Each structure stands twice: as structure tokens, then as C-alpha cells.
Amino acid sequence: MASETPSVESTLKQAAAYFRDKFGKDPNLAACAPGRVNLIGEHTDYNEGFVFPMALPMVTVVVGSKNDAGKCRVLTKAEGVDAPHFIEFPPHSEATPLSPGTPKWANYFKGVIANFPGTVPAFDAVIVSTVPVGGGVSSSAALEVATFTFLQQLCPDDGQNVKTMQKVLACQKAEHDFANVPCGIMDQYISTMGKASHALLIDCRSFEGRLVPMTDPDVVVLVTNSNVKHELNGSEYPTRRRQCESASKTMGKKSLREAADLTPDQLADFKDHIDSETFRRIRHVITEIQRTEEAAGVLENGDYKKFGQLMVASHNSLRDDYEVSCSEVDQLVEAAMEVEGVFGSRMTGGGFGGCTVTLLKREAVDKCIQNMKNRYTGTATFYVCPASDGARSLQL
């Protein structure tokens, strides 16, 4: 059976109760931001390409209020994060600038404060999350964007004038500078701008988004967490990014997006100028950008069969050319594809473990989960996910 995602309301209630417990008063501000699943368009965002994610019903909630203690005090109740779970630090200022350190979870939080366009006063806060940590569904972006949205309530004068894209970029910068991950724009963008019942085609060159309805009651998105996390991704992600950037330079292009209209024959011309590994990397990015743009149109027309084929082609390309999948995730994709009523399945997110995303008929969900369970050598967790809303303030 699929796991039930607790409602935002119940997560909020829980967060408020933890806050009362810890600080002996009620919080008066609250915000949340969701995790995401990417339907197609992987490792294309930092190449200025297209991505096609949707926001998940799993969210990170931040509740809190200003204090007179002269310091910021933050407690996390998120599962699977490193200790200590309670931190204290002076408000960010020129005299006491925030810097990254341990615990790691706090870097996302502090990074957002450091990049908030305004003066953040001393406050108390509690974090609660239903986004699985380290599962490739952007628990980090959910924390960043929830924190930023919370700060917008805490500092309304500065917060209300922030443009949406400025918010997305500030959260991305927090991840670059404080978590040392040179991520693209997808996760913070969708966590900020997701819309219920829609997937969002994001052009990572112009930052324009196009909402595509996902309202067919007979078709669902199944997210499957392999519950494996290979430590590789610490260095592999920046390496892939560097390979892409140096290849686009060699090709005389600003980014690989500029090469996305190359036909397979034109692309093959570059074979002699680039080593074979880099060639496979750019072949993935270029074909993935093409697939993603096509996929949005195909979904708009309700052609799930074709959409599913594009998902599988994406997975194969990530596995063989970009080499960011792993045997556990491959097993889950293969098992899903054996079931009647499954349109497509693929790895989602950065790779090296984490989740798969499967598009399938609602009536096939139980069979699909059963087959994945039977075939998978590990223990997976399953979530049937309606496309959900992006970040928002919450009423206590």
C-alpha cells in the first residue's frame, strides 16, 4: 500500500504544539513549502534547458515568532537530519555574519537568512517536515523556501516587496553558498511556484513557466523511494556540471541549451572534438531538453502513452549516458514497467539513489506497488501524489 501523507493542517498543528512545548508560548507566524517530483527534464536546469516538475503534497512547515532574547533559536523535528536538533545564533548582521557549519540541516536555514533582502530580528522557530530527507524530492529546497516564506511574515516591510524570482534565486544561492551544492534552479522554483493539479514546464534560460493541467482522475503519479543514498553524489553532481560547461565552451555555445536544436547527425560531428565520456554527457542533456519540451505538449494533449515513452527514454539516457542512476533504482523502474496500465517510469532528481516517478492508471496502482515490492531487493516506500500548491503563509 502507498503511504498516507499527513495533511498540511495536521503538520501545522503538530509544529505549533512542539513550539509551545519548547518555548512556553504560542507561535504567531507560519509558512510551508513543498518538496517536488520532476516528471522529466533531469540535469537540464543548470544547462539552461527545460524541466517539468510538480509540487508534492509533502511539505516543510516553519512556525515561530519574534523574541526578546537577542538571539535566534531554532528547533527541527524533521526526521533523518543530523544532531543537534536545536541551535541558537545571533541575528545576522555585519558584525555577526552567519556562516555554514554543523549541524548540516541548519545551513539551509541560515543560508536563507543570510540571503534574505532585509534585516531579520531575533526569533524562535520550529521546523516540521513530511518531505522525506535525502530522498531526491528536494527536502532541502522545501526547507529553504519555507524558511524564506516564514521570514517574509516575520519582516513584512521587507518581505512583501520581494519579487518571486528574487526569492527563488536567494534560496538557490543559500544552497550554493551554505550547503556547497551547485544546484540549478528547478527545486527552489517549483517549491515556490507549484500549483495544485498542474505540472510546470520551466524554461531555465528565460525563467518562464508554463502550467500544464493534471486533472485526469484516472491517471496518477506514483513516487517510489528506493531508500538508498549513495555517497557518490557529493562530488558527482559538480563534476557533471563542470563537464557540461566545458563541453559547451568547446562547442562555442553559451550553454548546452544553445545546442538543443542539433540533430543526431549534427551532434555526431562533435565526437572527434570531445572525449567519449563527455560526448555521452552532452548527448543526454541535449536529447533530454528535446524530450522535456515535447513531453509538456504531449501531456497537454492527454497522450499518456507517448509521455510514458519519453519518461523511459529519459531514464535510459540518465542510466547509460549521464550515468547517474544505480541498480536499485533501475530495478524499480523495470518492475514498474512490467505492469499493465503503467505508462512510464524513471529515476527522478539528482540520482545515485532516491526516488523513481511512475505515471500510471489509477486502477493499476496496487498491482504496480505489489510488483515493485516483489522485484525489489531493498525496502521501498510508495506515495501516490497529486500535484500540489507551492509555498504559502499559513493561518494559525
> Which residues are catalytic, by number?
187
Task: Return the number of the residue (349 or 390) whose C-beta is nearest ligand GLA.
Answer: 349
How many residues sit in the footprint of ligand GLA (CB under 6 A)? 10
Nearer to ligand GLA by Cβ, of 189 and 304: the residue is 189
Total number of residues shown for the chain = 396
Task: Give the CA radius of gyration of the chain.
Answer: 21
CB 179 within 8 A of CB 140: yes
Of 187, 321, 328, 389, the residue at the interface with ligand GLA (CB under 6 A) is 187
**Which is nearer to ligand GLA, 10 or 166 (by Cβ)?**
166
Shortest approach of ligand GLA to residue 285 CB, angstroms?
10
- Exposure string for 53-70, b = 16+ CB within 10 A, e = fewer: bbbbbbbbbbbbbebeee
**Contact at 8 Å (CB) between 100 and 134?**
no
Q: Which of residues 43-62 bind ligand GLA (CB under 6 A)?
A: 43, 45-46
Among 353, 350, 359, 302, which Cα is nearest to 330's? 353
Q: Which is nearer to ligand GLA, 45 or 328 (CB)?
A: 45
Residues near 395 by beta carbon (within 8 Å), at least 6 away in sequence: 30
CB of 283 within 8 A of CB of 274? no
- Which of 39-47, 96-104, 261-269, 274-282 is the region at the interface with ligand GLA (rule: CB under 6 A)? 39-47
The grid coordinates of residue 87 equal 541551535
**Residue among 87 and 282 whose Cβ is closer to ligand GLA:** 282
Minimum distance of ligand GLA from residue 219's CB (angstroms): 23
Q: Which of 42, 48, 144, 328 binds ligand GLA (CB under 6 A)?
A: 42
From 344, 350, 353, 390, residue interacting with ligand GLA (rule: CB under 6 A): 350
Q: Reduce the DSSP state of residue 55 to 3 states and report it.
A: strand
Cβ–Cβ < 8 Å for 209, 200: yes
| Closest alpha carbon to 109 in 51, 43, 56, 31 | 31
Angle at 323 between CA 322 and CA 324, to 5 degrees: 95
Q: Which CB, 39 or 183, lies closer to ligand GLA? A: 183
Q: Quick one: which of 169, 177, 194, 165 has its CA closest to 35?
A: 194
Confirm or reject binding of residue 183 to ligand GLA (CB under 6 A): yes
The two beta strands, 198-203 and 50-66, are antiparallel
CB of 223 to ligand GLA, least distance (A): 14
Identify the three-state secondary structure at position 71: coil
Q: Which range touches ligand GLA (CB under 6 A), out of 4-12, 41-49, 271-279, 386-394?
A: 41-49
184 binds ligand GLA (CB under 6 A): yes
Please state the closest distance from residue 184 (CB atom) to ligand GLA, in A. Answer: 3
> What would the grid cell of residue 33 be?
513549502
User: Of these, 55, 75, 186, 369, which contacts ligand GLA (CB under 6 A)?
Assistant: 186
Q: Which of 243, 360, 353 is nearest to 308 (CA)?
A: 360
Please identify, using beta-carbon distances, which residue of 119 and 180 lies nearer to ligand GLA.
Answer: 180
Integer Cα distance of 341 and 313 in angstroms: 18
Region near ligand GLA per CB under 6 A, out of 25-33, 42-50, 91-99, 267-275:
42-50
Determine the interface stretch with ligand GLA among 55-63, 180-188, 246-254, 372-380 (rule: CB under 6 A).
180-188
**In the complex, which residues of this chain contact ligand GLA (CB under 6 A)?**
42-43, 45-46, 183-184, 186-187, 349-350
